[in-house]
Structure 1
Amino acid sequence: MSNINNQTQDLYSIELVQDLSHEAAAAVSGGADLELFDDDNFGKLLVQTNEGTGNVGNDVNDRISSIVVNAGVWRFWTDSQFRGLSADLEPGRYANIGVGFSDSITSFQRIG
């Protein structure tokens, strides 16, 4: 409940708050567990998420070059559906994910 202009209102009754998915809310609030970037040194933000995916899609596929892990341990694969070479990253800022993974990530998921 909030009290705005002496009126009590449940925040979830506000349409924009109610319609936000968990992932969208995390991105808006800056609470994303994982941030993926197109360039080294956190150049262009591609994705902020709290969820893994078996296939990152054409807009992100083979473009990830730097990563920020804000929470959890995440596993990244070079192929879709959690196949290929994999690497685990703990919370931290990874300005260059290195040879073999830079511009090669196609799927990822939180493992811890």
Structure 2
Amino acid sequence: MNFKFVHNNLNVLDLERSLQFYQKALDLKEVHRLENPDFTLVYLGDGGSSSHELELTWLKGRKEPYNLGENEFHIALTVDDFEAAHARHKEMDCICYENAAMGIYFISDPDGYWIEILPEK
């Protein structure tokens, strides 16, 4: 038996705002989408370095923010130019936590989800 990661899901309140954020902050692009009268699913990819996708779910009738608890969970991405990524995210004002001792930081998306940024090893 062989399990393989396919995607992670995040629910978003404003699909267009989230798509713009993930494109600008992480260079993720739409791979495919599923339209439904009640919701839209958009799958984002990194352009080929990984087959793993990020699924953004937009529940069209939802108006209240999602309860993210204490942000105990997160997704993580590596980047080949850590300094340039950090500068981009600092300019976007989306860095929410830094751990210089570990050499990592986190950014927060428009819905408050945390994304860990790691240097490529």
TM-score, structure 2 as length reference: 0.24
Higher strand share: 2
TM-score (norm 1): 0.25
- Find the structure with the greater CA-based Rg: 1
